[in-house]
Amino acid sequence: MSLPAEKASELKQLIHQQLNKMDVHGRIREILAETIREELAPDQQQLSTEDLIKALRRRGIIDDVMKELNFVTDNVDQELPTSPKQPACFTDRQSTLLKKTNIDPTRRYLYLQVLGGKAFLEHLQEPEPLPGQVCSTFTLCLHFRNQRFRSKPVPCACEPDLHDGFLLEVHRESLGKELNKFDCWFFCNKRINAFCVHGTVLALERQKTAERERLFLVYAKQWWREYLQIRPSHNSRLVKIFAQDENGINRPVCSYVKPLRAGRLLDTPRQAARFVNVLGYERAPVIGGGGKQEQWCTLLAFLCRNKGDCEDHANLLCSLLLGYGLEAFVCVGTKAKGVPHAWVMTCGTDGTITFWESLTGHRYIHKPINPDGAPLAEQPKPLYPYRTIGCVFNHQMFLGNCQPSDSVEVCVFDLNDESKWKPMSEEAIKSVCAPGATTSLPPFPPLCASMIDASVTSNEMEMQLRLLVSEHRKDLGLTTIWEDQLSYLLSPALASYEFERTTSISAGNEEFQDAIRRAVPDGHTFKGFPIHFVYRNARRAFATCLRSPFCEEIICCRGDQVRLAVRVRVFTYPESACAVWIMFACKYRSVL
């Protein structure tokens, strides 16, 4: 069967004009039905969808339309052996932030349109932006079968003008029965709310999921009763089996952790720790105000917000360390003054216990103190900030601390000793936390490469800071003379600071000091002030710098032959996270 030329032309025009409307599919079928009625024999059965697609492809309509469509990809650097092509997303033709790509007409796709939003209320708690200040925006983030998308940001409103389209690729190996079932997870940045759209989910599978979760809850209650019997009764301990996510759903804590491979975005475990460290820290606010609440974000929500609580940082770092093949656990306990806290622990093959602080990137070697040792014996002084520990867990294990004392400094981390650590059944954990065990667990998304141009952003921030400093000095009645060469000489120091934060190794400081000595003439004084940020707002950074008396002394330097310098260096990480180093410096002639 073939389509007449006039019908083919009309169909192609319809696709071009109606591509972004909801009734495209219906209109196309109407035209095809017209043609079929004209050409089908009276005794011939109704043609299948495959016959219609073949007819369109023979006329070249599908190929022509696909060539003229513009799609863009969100840059996801992930090893995907089953999907060599990156996912595509509809956007405005004027958008240049994302890379254009073509789609493969031999593959199956699902086109999803977002036509608006209602009842977005969280932004109402924020103060109105001042004149000239950038207003807050909403961004819709989407995760579909290892593909991630992000909509264009729109100004915050109760009914935001969210109009965007996403082309979701359904992989070849998923065709057939698996095509009838898919999970598509959304997260709207700023809304702090995720929701799941399901295709066809069999009722039997839902019943199995509910039964597994019910049995695990029964087992968890039994485990808790047994733990209370063997735990010392004189003190309470922070043992957390379930945690509530951003949807208000209670999930086993083990489900928040899973081995996560970063592809080529992160090369070492310490670089992964640095990446987690530069993600922002913020406790989840309670809607309507009234204080803070404990909330553990799913990984997609945490990555889309680019900030979260200590538990979110610890879960992500533990997942990355597991991906690097380390034996890693999330630790739940307290810091000074009994403040609840979560951090990461790795167990070496030689028995070395290392604590990883996900909020700072610092690492600490645990050397237990012997409480029964001689009074005069020198005991190691702990450098870590942790005080007590109640439990540890990862994606396969959960262990409650049942030692006489829950103080970290005297704890023995022999996790195989059931007299010190009471384990949960690994089979019980696997029944609800293993991949595909339940339909209620959100899938882990891949990490996205940074979309920040480090050089351009560094230059822009540096120019903005120069302007802010000049204006500030002008208000004080001071002139400003910048020395470009001195600014350039500050670059090695900033690179050295970031390298030290990542590796805990100091390098390159000798060359920097030698260059500064050569650049500062005899009889002159040099002063420098480095500072670190995890955001790219130059005005906000400048205001913070002025609160430091050392930095203010440099910016407001008075004297003879005063020369100023500033250098900005932006280091990018996945998910558009970044570490921003700024150094202000001055040199002037010393007058006795």
For 408-423, write each residue's pLDDT tens digit: 999 999 999 999 999 9
Cβ within 8 Å of residue 12, ≥6 positions away: 61, 64, 65
CA–CA separation, 139 and 148 (whole Å): 13
More confident: 235 or 180: 235
Write the CB contacts of 137 (distance below 8 Å, at least 6 apart in sequence).
Answer: 153, 154, 155, 156, 190
Nearest to 256 by CA among 467, 432, 499: 432
CATH topology of domain 454-589: Pathogenesis-related Protein p14a (3.40.33)
Residue 545 CA to residue 555 CA, distance in Å, equals 9
Which CATH architecture best describes the domain 199-372+381-433? Roll (3.10)
User: Which range has the top average pLDDT, 104-113, 156-165, 288-297, 346-355?
Assistant: 346-355
CB 558 within 8 A of CB 548: no
Q: How far apart are CA 459 and CA 434, in angstroms?
A: 46
**pLDDT-derived band at 442, boundaries 50, 70, 90:** confident
**pLDDT tens for each residue of 385-413:** 999 999 999 999 999 999 999 999 999 99
Confidence of residue 63 (pLDDT cuts 50, 70, 90): low
Q: Cα(91)–Cα(72) distance, rounded to whole angstroms?
A: 7
Backbone angles phi, psi at 39, to 5 degrees: -105, -20
| Rounded to 5°, angle at Cα 342 from 337 and 346 | 125
Per-residue pLDDT band for 515 (boundaries 50, 70, 90) equals very high
CA distances from 430 to 362, 396, 519 (A): 31, 7, 63
The span from the CA of 365 to the CA of 513, in Å, is 32
For residue 57, is pLDDT > 80? no
The DSSP call for residue 417 is -
pLDDT band at 559 (very low <50, low <70, confident <90, very high): confident
Q: How confident is the model at residue 230 (pLDDT cuts 50, 70, 90)?
A: confident
Report the chain's mean pLDDT, rounded to a whole number: 80
**Pairwise CA distance, residues 139 & 305, whole Å:** 10
Arithmetic mean of pLDDT, 111-115: 88
Question: How do residues 11-33 score in pLDDT, each as one tens digit?
Answer: 555 555 555 444 545 555 666 66
586 vs 486: CA distance, rounded Å: 9
| pLDDT tens sequence across 146-202 | 888 888 888 888 888 888 888 888 864 444 444 444 555 555 554 333 333 333 344
More confident residue, 93 or 494: 494
Amino acid 205 reads: E
In 3-state terms, what secondary structure has residue 282? Answer: coil
pLDDT of the residue at 4? 57
Please give the radius of gyration of the chain, using alpha carbons only, rounded to the nearest integer: 29
Determine the 3-state secondary structure of 585 from DSSP: strand
Cα–Cα distance measured from residue 499 to residue 568, given in angstroms and rounded to the nearest whole number: 15
152 — alpha (psi -120 to 50), left (phi > 0) or beta? beta
Tokens representing residue 428 in the block = 């019980």
Domain spans of the chain?
Answer: 108-170+183-187, 199-372+381-433, 454-589
